[in-house]
Structure 1
């Protein structure tokens, strides 16, 4: 088996680390000081006055809690991918695709908000100056900038990062100029009165805080680019908190200036004259309805025409740089997803000349364009127009787009906080250069705070976010959830030893047997050989050498030789049965990952895993973490065999409880195969409540007859067992048999249990050997199981 794809080979394809502390801080500050400060600060003041300061501070505090989790994760996993990658490293299940999908949508939604804001400000403030015809749609400027930014990111990170630093420095200077002009007119009584008037409007403050949360999400863009940041374990946490602290101060001062302006009689008179509004009250109403341009109007009043246009140009560059940083971060998430097979492998490709992940950049740009078209072109309307009509009368616009982005981002951040708690429990000894203080209390507080803000997201945005998430789930089941390439499997879990001592059937039936304990070889191989012989197939043995997550996989090759004896014994056992057998030893950070990759690479038909017969003491773990992962994620039939007391493997009688369904039919096929090999008599039973009516008894009899029909050439009996307790009825009957085989119950994901309560309880209580079966299902059946359909 090829060993060309190694962990080192993957590392060699990474981009060089070129971003230092200043560059990392610029990514965060550049993303946070953008459309949020120029658009949302005015909207916030128009909604809750000076209490907008409280709304911004609440959003900052909530973001700071989650930022701690990002800081810790980035110190452990200094790679691109941000929250998605952290969740995937912690849970190692395909359900983490949902986190990736959330970020796939969230980052472009943020960038679309910045570019839509750019279009609106450009239309309102630059069109008149340059005499641009109104016939040119307002959104054209944003689309042109999007194309330029996509091209910039295709060119390379070094160029886009230098651009980010320059633009961030420029807009900080411009905002200081704005503050210099506005703070000279500060009136503490105005601030106090506005605060007193609005501070009791708790619901409005909550809604505003949820609206402006997007402004602080820039901290995640720093972690998402960790792969390109120098000394990321130290630089990322410092850059995150420096940028957040700096931006919070800036936002507070900007809100103060806007509050002063909207309560300044001189400003209202100026605004009324400039826009011919007909008085101060009309001017006040205009600000309330057009809060997204309040900062620009305030700049014109305090700084005059020259200062005003300097600020406008600075605002446009701010929105541009924030969109650029978000495109960078969003493309890195997609790159990380492609590496874990949650996106097609082609999105992992680097450009042969530019060495950039060009396909993920283009995909990010495509999502942004879709959002811009939907939220601003089709359902947005012309900025400032009161007569614009939209399809179905549905108006979305900037505020709904910001809410949609916040829904996605808050959902993702909530999952990251859950992951940091799980990581502390799952990997207690892993080195963490930066640690979340007072864990798990700080992450729990962050989860609660994120959920509160999520509940305050504008209803239309919330509904659109839910629809988008459901689309992602559908795409996974219908399109994306396919097996990874052989090259990727070898890179993730390299083969250290391969032993092919027997002729292998060509594209025939294959049973994979993971063996960790040599004492279980004979029992597991006996069942595997029986199934292989029944299907004219082969057995494939896999043994995993695991190394800590921070240890290179190549280090595990030296430990693999001692596992060769496992392969030899298993293959020799199969030879005695006349069944072809092969085997490998794989190196992995996780045994389940090695088993699953073996199944995917070989396109195996079944896997048999051993179980010691007792439940795990760990919460949310049933048979044991490795077995649970294999049951949940194996794309083949699954057999969980409880190791029985009889070393000789003699089977004279088999008990087959049935209740119908695909998993029960697989159990019947398994019983027939073992009966065919051993001559054992199979007793098929159905446990029925003594109070059952005639219709239910008739159905039970039909199920027994259907199951018995499977045993055409082997002895079989049927029995209707009357007992109000299904588990008790089966356990009592099982005492009279050498082997019990039972299919998984079709309980859905929301019931959490992997096999269902009945098979688990039976496996734990019956003293003899028990085999539990789970049939591989097609897409529609898997989706039905996920949703709990029986």
Structure 2
């Protein structure tokens, strides 16, 4: 597809009709070069390009860049262009692979793909402006099924994470539908992050402007609200260590202090309280010496209420995904999310570990304690 020479290169891929995942035929891709092993994939749907969504693009990118930097990785922006049926897929495939000429019946469809390509190139420009040293690539993937399109890409690499974006005030699902998010959480064999962006109002443009007209303000003038404080509620769940690692990434990038919170029942045993204290210590250890950390152990019979209260005093909250069979699955995260999305100055990031047992803060702490006891207290 024709592209402006001043724009970053954005590849185009077409979803294959078979159910099984296959390698994409990438168009106008650069020569193969060495790339970092860890890739943070950021699916971007048409909602971002709608002026009514009013999402600050710089704020949208900050978490992805932070996660990639913390893992010495890269960011892959995945622009999803949804078409109606397989016939439309074949039209686009013929245009980009066989250099077929557009017809009056296909002109509008192909113009839509061209627009997505140019719009995604503008997002790449912003990302590179935020972090010129980080490897940032982009692909427009033409699909009939958004969920399948995401899962196919995630199945193509071993060292991957995906950041799924939701927005406030955008209807059910926001940037991605609720069903897509639930399916990716359940099926993706990689780390999954779900970020609720809130309405992150900043100065300047809050969305990607139309590529031809209706530009409200220069994207270069767009500024996102700063993250001045981060809350990390921790527990013994299987995704708590990944949440701590994500907190470290965000806090380091924003140079923000972190409050580590653990809530325990007032009637808990002395051993349980001792274990809770050690859990806070280990979370502080994961966050590392470069992050300013304050730990809080609170007693309450209502864990959710405490998290909600403390989250509303922080700009950014990171939580581990609840266990699949836990009664908290629809209690803690969803109540936190639903309450906080009513505020424009709070963002919630949920982390689901691809290997929760091995990375659980609780189990890591237990292993460490057992190892120390086995070595008679030696270092």
TM-score w.r.t. length of structure 1:
0.34
Q: Which runs of 5+ in 2 are unaligned?
A: 1-9, 50-54, 94-109, 203-223, 360-379
- The separation in 1 between residues aligned to 2:14 and 2:256, in whole angstroms, is 47
Does the CA-based 8 Å contact 1:614-1:764 persist in structure 2? Answer: no
- The separation in 1 between residues aligned to 2:69 and 2:317, in whole angstroms, is 20
Deviation at 1:711, TM superposition (A): 2.1
Matched, 1:590 2:140: no
Q: 1:662 to 1:592 in 2, by over 3 A?
A: same
2:269 aligned residue (656, 681, 693)? 693
- The separation in 2 between residues aligned to 1:6 and 1:723, in whole angstroms, is 50
1:641 aligned residue (181, 192, 195)? 195
1:534 aligned residue (58, 70, 73)? 70
Alignment of 1:262-273 (within 5 A): none
- The separation in 2 between residues aligned to 1:741 and 1:628, in whole angstroms, is 18
Deviation at 1:693, TM superposition (A): 2.8
Matched, 1:759 2:333: yes
Q: Deviations over 1:236-256 (max 9, x none)?
A: xxxxxxxxxxxxxxxxxxxxx
Quote the residue 1:735 is aligned against. 312
Quote the residue 1:632 is aligned against. 186
1:510 aligned residue (22, 31, 39)? 39
1:561 aligned residue (103, 114, 126)? 114
Matched, 1:716 2:270: no
Q: 1:752 to 1:550 in 2, by over 3 A?
A: farther
- The separation in 1 between residues aligned to 2:306 and 2:123, in whole angstroms, is 36
Alignment of 1:147-186 (within 5 A): none
- The separation in 1 between residues aligned to 2:327 and 2:267, in whole angstroms, is 30
Does the CA-based 8 Å contact 2:151-2:188 persist in structure 1? Answer: yes
Q: 1:651 to 1:593 in 2, by over 3 A?
A: same
Deviation at 1:733, TM superposition (A): 0.7
Matched, 1:521 2:57: yes
Deviation at 1:589, TM superposition (A): 1.3
- The separation in 1 between residues aligned to 2:142 and 2:81, in whole angstroms, is 5
Deviation at 1:569, TM superposition (A): 2.2
TM-score w.r.t. length of structure 2:
0.69
**RMSD of aligned C-alpha atoms?**
3.3
Does the CA-based 8 Å contact 1:643-1:770 persist in structure 2? Answer: yes
Matched, 1:777 2:355: yes
- The separation in 2 between residues aligned to 1:510 and 1:568, in whole angstroms, is 19
The alignment partner of 2:181 has SS state of helix
Deviation at 1:574, TM superposition (A): 2.3
Alignment of 1:246-285 (within 5 A): none
Deviation at 1:617, TM superposition (A): 6.6
- The separation in 1 between residues aligned to 2:272 and 2:180, in whole angstroms, is 39
Quote the residue 1:307 is aligned against. none
Deviation at 1:534, TM superposition (A): 1.8
The alignment partner of 2:226 has SS state of coil
- The separation in 2 between residues aligned to 1:608 and 1:743, in whole angstroms, is 14
Q: 1:762 to 1:615 in 2, by over 3 A?
A: farther
- The separation in 1 between residues aligned to 2:351 and 2:15, in whole angstroms, is 35
Alignment of 1:49-88 (within 5 A): none
Task: Name the one with the larger strand percent.
Answer: 2
Q: 1:536 to 1:694 in 2, by over 3 A?
A: same
Q: Deviations over 1:553-588 (max 9, x none)?
A: 224562311111332122112212121111111111
Q: 1:551 to 1:780 in 2, by over 3 A?
A: farther
- The separation in 1 between residues aligned to 2:14 and 2:140, in whole angstroms, is 16
Q: Which runs of 5+ in 1 are unaligned?
A: 11-338, 342-483, 782-790
Task: Name the one with the larger helix percent.
Answer: 1
Quote the residue 2:82 is aligned against. 546
Deviation at 1:715, TM superposition (A): 0.7
Q: 1:659 to 1:521 in 2, by over 3 A?
A: same
- The separation in 1 between residues aligned to 2:116 and 2:11, in whole angstroms, is 19
Does the CA-based 8 Å contact 2:13-2:140 persist in structure 1? Answer: no
Does the CA-based 8 Å contact 1:613-1:763 persist in structure 2? Answer: no
